[in-house]
Amino acid sequence: MKLATLCYLRQNGHTLMVHRIKKENDMHAGKWNGLGGKLEPGETPEECAAREIWEESGLEVNNLTLRGIITFPGFANDEDWYTFLFVSDNFTGELIDSPEGHLQWIPDHELLDLNLWPGDRIFIPWLDQPGFFSGKFVYKDGKLVEHGVVFYENR
């Protein structure tokens, strides 16, 4: 089982995305992703998200909002991945040359036109809905074969 974060930084109607074109043997090669990665021992999801944002973009996040959790059964090497999804519009710093790929601010209305994982097209709009969600996305051989979600309202 792997625990991970996925973070979407936003400003002025744009979202920071990384085009995964730099790493060899990258399971995300050629895809556009938010920023994030695996939790290290002892890290909270928030600490992981802040560290990954810093490492991948050079930006220091000042606050994060947890919007949902997604389960990816057997996603890589037959391991289940549990991914905490965050958004933030409060960060400082200057973008670096990311070791993960090419960073670009994408207009929000163009996000779903990118080469994304199929499930990303489904859950990215959920980031803007009120409340919290818990989703499950099942991939087989890189193809989305099943998905579901439970939405929770803020009370």
**Domain with 69 in it:** 2-152
Dihedral (CA of 51, 54, 55, 57) sign: positive
pLDDT at residue 153 in the model: 84
* In the block, residue with structure tokens 């803020």: 154
| pLDDT reported for residue 27 | 65
Is the Cβ–Cβ distance between 99 and 117 less than 8 Å? no
Distance CA 71, CA 133 (A): 11
The total domain count for the chain is 1
DSSP 8-state secondary structure symbol assigned to residue 38: B
What pTM was estimated for this model as a whole? 0.93
> How far is it, in rounded angstroms, from Cα 62 to Cα 93?
11
Predicted pLDDT at 29: 60
Question: Would you state the pLDDT for residue 93?
Answer: 97
CA-closest candidate to residue 74, choices 2, 148, 151:
2
Q: How many CA atoms lie within 13 A of 29 on its CB side?
A: 6
| pLDDT score for 152 | 95
Pairing type for strands 60-76 and 132-140 reads: parallel
DSSP 106-141: EEGGGGGGSS--HHHHHHGGGGGSSSEEEEEEEEET
pLDDT tens, N- to C-terminus, the chain (155 residues): 999 999 999 999 999 999 977 666 666 667 899 999 999 999 999 999 999 999 999 999 999 999 999 999 988 778 899 999 999 999 999 999 998 889 999 999 999 999 999 999 999 999 999 999 999 999 998 889 999 999 998 76
User: Do 87 and 43 form a contact (C-beta atoms < 8 A)?
Assistant: no
CATH number of the domain that residue 70 is part of:
3.90.79.10
